[in-house]
Every structure is written in structure tokens, then in C-alpha cells.
Amino acid sequence: MTSINTTYGIIMDIAKNIGDYSGTHISDVPADLESEEALYFRQTIPKFPEEAVYIYSFKHHKMIFASGWEEVVGYRDDEINMLAIVNMSAPEFAPFSHDLNDKALKFIHKKTENLEKYSFTIELKKIHKEGHEVPILARVGVFSSKNGKIESIIGRFQVNRSLIFGKIMRYAAYGPEKEKFEEELNQALFRHFAISDKEKEALSLVAKGYSFKEIAHELSVSHSAIEKRILPLYKRFDLKSLTHLVSFAYDNNILP
């Protein structure tokens, strides 16, 4: 069985890959689960079966709460830390996960209002302490803010064995400026084989035979907004037509 010290040693060796922005904001300090704050969170924050939860404080530069991690990835709640969580992604998911965390955090840190309404999700595999892969639907959002600045974030990692993975990464962005948030992520993550929730939503209607105009009406957005969601997928996936794009989506489990 891999020791936590060995794992942390590996993590520190690859920490430079987590993203320049994220790397300046996270640490390997675990939560003090006997603190008054952590005990309060344990009583007030709900957790579902096969779900791990954390709260990370940017103010204190450390984890301030963790629950459910041994059940999900094999690490005790008092040893898991933010750096370990970020870097336990399976190799094929790690580059995209690192970039998504980095770009999403950078976007949210520029905002000053309604910060608690911002979050993002990603479907990926994490590496269990014993070495096997765990299918995860992860959601990370702002937990608390003060004077227009983020103080802490909350992450929920739910085991989801119904996830079907292909070579396409799937993610979504949420918040008051959802369209702008997702558009910035799409541009920043263009080099990856990935698709956002909004792009997938529009593509599913293309697969049903809707025209761009009909999709725009169905989703209550402009025609140009639909073009921005669909047309970049041609270049991203090296495809030549809508027919090829739809076939590619089915072949790679983007569409059911």
C-alpha cells in the first residue's frame, strides 16, 4: 500500500504542473478536525454516501474541513490536503483538470459580487490511495467571501459509477455571469479535447435535427451564441461538418 508520505513526495515533485495561478493559492496543509470551526462544519454541512467534501481557506492558506475522503479515495480526513486532491487526478485527466482549476479560479478571483453563486463541475477519475481509479463528478464553488474577495471554497467529490468516459473531457460553469465564465474557459481550454455543458446542450439539439436558428429559439439565446458553441468544435476535434461532429459525439460518449 502506498504511504501518504510517499504520495506527498510525488505530489511535491509534480506540483509545478498544477497551474501558475493555482500554485500560488493552495497548500499541502490538512485541516485541524478538532477545531471549533471544523466541528461546526461537521454538524452543519450535509454529505451523501460515497461523497467527499472539503473546505479550503485562501485566507489561512490551508484546509479547514474535510469529510468522507477515506471512503472515496482512501485518505483519512485529517491527512488529505488541497495539493493532494488537485494532483490525484488520473494521468489522462490531470492536464485538463489542472488547467480548468487554474482558469476557473483566476476568473472567479476577478469577480467582486455574488461570489458564492459561482461554481464549476468536471467529470474525471481520481487515483485511490491503493492505486485503482475512482470515477468522480466533482463540483467546486465559492463557500465564503468578504468585501468582494473569496475567503474559502468548497468542493464535493461524488463517486459516480454510471459515468462513461471517452477521450473527451466534460465540464460546466455556473454563476451570475455563466455565459462569460464558460466562454472564457472554452477559450483558455481550447487545446484540450473537452466540451462544456453549454456546448453539449447545443450539440444535442443539432443531433435531433434542429437548425442553429431553432436551437437559438429553444435555448433563448442569439444565433451568434449558438455559432460560438458549435463552430469551434470543428477545429477542436479536427472535423469538417456537422454530420461528422454528431457522429464523433456519439462515438466518444458525449451524447447518449
Domain segments of the chain as ranges: 4-161, 194-251
With beta carbons less than 8 A apart as the criterion, state whether 170 and 120 touch.
Answer: no
Using DSSP's 3-state secondary structure scheme, residue 192 falls into coil
> 140 — phi, psi (to 5°)?
-125, 130
pLDDT tens per residue, range 126-179: 999 999 999 999 999 999 999 999 999 999 999 999 998 888 899 999 999 988
Q: Is the pLDDT of residue 42 over 90?
A: yes
Distance between CA atoms of residues 228 and 199, nearest Å: 9
pLDDT tens per residue, range 173-222: 999 998 899 888 888 888 888 999 899 999 999 999 999 999 999 999 99
Q: What is the 3-state secondary structure (H, E, C) of 5-61?
A: HHHHHHHHHHHHHHCHHHHCCCCCCCCCCCCHHHHHHHHHCCCCCCEEEEEEECCCC
| 21 confidence band (pLDDT: 50, 70, 90) | low
Q: In the CATH hierarchy, which fold is given to the domain comprising 194-251? A: Arc Repressor Mutant, subunit A (1.10.10)
Query: Is residue 63 classed exposed, middle or buried when 0-12, 13-18 and 19+ CB atoms within 10 A define those classes?
Result: buried
| 256 confidence band (pLDDT: 50, 70, 90) | confident
With beta carbons less than 8 A apart as the criterion, state whether 21 and 107 touch.
Answer: no
Distance between CA atoms of residues 101 and 21, nearest Å: 9
| 12 confidence band (pLDDT: 50, 70, 90) | very low
CA distance to 40, 41, 70, 115, 214, per residue, from 35 (Å): 9, 10, 20, 26, 55
H-helix segments, the chain: 4-14, 20-23, 36-44, 69-73, 82-87, 94-109, 178-188, 197-207, 212-219, 223-236, 242-251
Q: If we measure between CA atoms, which residue out of 170, 180, 168, 181 comes closest to residue 245?
A: 168
Q: Is the pLDDT of residue 17 over 60?
A: no
Average pLDDT over residues 23-47: 93
Amino acid at 45: I
Amino acid at 46: P
Q: Residue 32: its pLDDT value, please?
A: 97
DSSP state of 89: B
Q: Is the pLDDT of residue 102 over 60?
A: yes
pTM: 0.83
Query: Is residue 69 classed exposed, middle or buried when 0-12, 13-18 and 19+ CB atoms within 10 A define those classes?
Result: buried
Distance between CA atoms of residues 101 and 133, nearest Å: 20
Its CATH architecture, for the domain 4-161, is: 2-Layer Sandwich (3.30)
pLDDT tens per residue, range 45-93: 999 999 999 999 999 999 999 999 999 999 999 999 999 999 899 999 9
